Structure 1
Amino acid sequence: MIAPILPKTRLIPLAFAGLVAATPALAHHPMGGMTPETFSQGLLSGLGHPVIGLDHLAALVGVGLVASRFARGLTLPAFWIVAMAAGIGLHLMSADLPYAEALVALSVVAIGIAATMRTTLPYGLIAALFVAGGAVHGYALGEAIVGAEATPLAAYLIGLVAVQTALTTGIAFAARSLAKGSLATPALRMAGVAVAVTGVAALALPAFA
């Protein structure tokens, strides 16, 4: 029974180890830094930006890992998504958030730590963490759409919501399934460590994010 389980338990930490080893080039924007001008460009940008940015991707993995621990866990990513959209709105309204990139990295570290803990933190505390993290990530993601017209802006938001919802809930489902195996819990915690390490790297080396 152990042989079929072991490869699955290694899947998440090994995959994330590869992400941590990736070069800073992965952080390039899907549009090459250009503001989207059409619906398709906005959608592509929204779908790609959270995945290509390693710090954003790490946060989404961590959200899924932490959410998988709760009976109501699949409701937790909603806090992240709503706060993310609000953060974008704040950026578009020219609100000033000092040290935004540092806050993004710190949120990744905090989520990674939460995923590594043996004791599951209270639901309300995790929801608050996801609201804070989602807001700062949304603020950072908003930079890519500043100055865009309404159509690419709407498409960008659609892409962001779609890809982040799919990733966080998909990882939560996968982690919950893997957690049924006796060897899975240490592997999932190691994935949380990888999330935290990614946040530390983004904090120490801004080009890594």
Structure 2
Amino acid sequence: MSRLALRLAAAGTLFLLAARSAQAHHAMDGELPASLGQGLLSGLAHPVIGLDHLAFIVAAGLIAGAAGVGLAMPLVFVVASMLGVFLHLLALDLPAAELVIAASVLAAGVLLAWGRATGGRGLWLALFVIAGLFHGYAYGESIVGAEATPLLSYLAGLFVVQAAIGLGAAALASNRSWTTVSLAPRLAGAVVMGIGVSALAGQLIPG
């Protein structure tokens, strides 16, 4: 990895450790959405203000575009995340969810930063499905117990914002003809890696 990539990762990690921004996952300040508008706002905001979620979605899109595994591949992650929400709503337990989420962000960042985001579609399909289930399980925490209307609007917002970010990143990488060894996705990977390190440290080191 280049020195610049390492410096970006280190700077991102220090900033995130200080700000602990990855902990801010709730647009409603932890309150349960009670209306269509609140549900939609919470669904749109959750993957954006949760930097660990946002970082993985962007990385998934860049991997899809740069590795040539298909622009629709980020949708695999999005659909799996919706299933993860339902797992939470059904009170089915996914152990160590936050730890797995942090590890998935770190893994995606490492693959991008090292220019190793290669492999068959089956590998990425498995990664995106597993990561999606755990990220979605975490999304479900903020909507458990909500009425049907805010629940459905939350799910709609969640799907739309994730799909837009993932497909947008994939289209960007594809339109610019980036490959896994291009500088831009590798630098982005270094930033994602920093976010992953921060999230992992937050899980392993008592606050």
The SS at the match of 1:29 is coil
1:38 aligns with 2:31: no
Deviation at 1:72, TM superposition (A): 4.7
Q: Distance in 1 between matches of 2:79 and 2:14?
A: 27
For residue 20 of structure 2, what is the aligned residue in structure 1?
24
- Partners of 1:84 and 1:133 in 2: CA distance: 8
Go from structure 1 to structure 2 and tell me whether the alpha carbon gap of 1:98 and 1:150 turns closer, same or farther (over 3 Å shift): same
Q: Distance in 2 between matches of 1:25 and 1:186?
A: 26
1:203 aligns with 2:200: yes
Closer/same/farther in 2, CA of residues 44 and 165 from structure 1, 3 Å limit: same
Gaps of 5+ in 1: 1-12
| Unaligned stretches of 5+ residues in structure 2 | 1-6
TM normalised by structure 1 equals 0.83
- 1:169-196, Cα deviation, whole Å (9 max, x unpaired): 1111112233459xx8122112112112
Aligned residues: 192
Shift of 1:25: 4.4
Percent identical residues: 48
- Equivalent in the alignment of 1:102: 99
Measured against aligned partners, the alpha-carbon deviations of 1:69-114 in whole angstroms (never above 9, x if no partner) come to 2445212012101110110010000011121110110111122223
What is the alpha-carbon distance in structure 2 between the residues aligned to residue 39 and residue 20 of structure 1? Answer: 38
- Is 1:109–1:200's contact at 8 Å kept on the other side of the alignment? yes
- Code of the residue aligned with 2:20 in structure 1: it is P
The correspondence of residues 31-70 of structure 1 with structure 2, limited to 5 A, is: 31-70=28-67
Residues 178, 185 of structure 2: 8 Å contact kept:
no
- Distance in 2 (CA, whole Å) between partners of 1:151 and 1:105 is 31
Confirm or deny: 8 A CA contact 1:105 1:203 kept in the other structure: yes
**Aligned match for 1:175, one of 166, 173, 176:** 173
Residue 115 (structure 1) shift: 2.1
**SS state of the match for residue 163, structure 2?**
helix
Instruction: Provide the rounded CA distance (Å) in 1 between the counterparts of 2:34 and 2:167.
Output: 30
Q: Please provide the CA RMSD for this pair.
A: 2.4
Deviation per CA, 1:124-154: give whole Å up to 9, x if none: 1011100000000000010000000111000
| 1:133 matched residue in structure 2 | 131
Q: Tell me: CA distance 1:20–1:52, structure 2 relative to 1, closer, same or farther (3 Å).
A: farther
Pick which of 23-32 and 167-176 moved more.
23-32
Q: Secondary structure at the match of 1:160?
A: helix
SS in 2 for 1:73: coil
Letter in 1 for 2:79: V
Q: TM-score, normalised by structure 2?
A: 0.84
- Partner of 2:66: helix, strand, or coil? coil
Correspondence for 2:115: 118
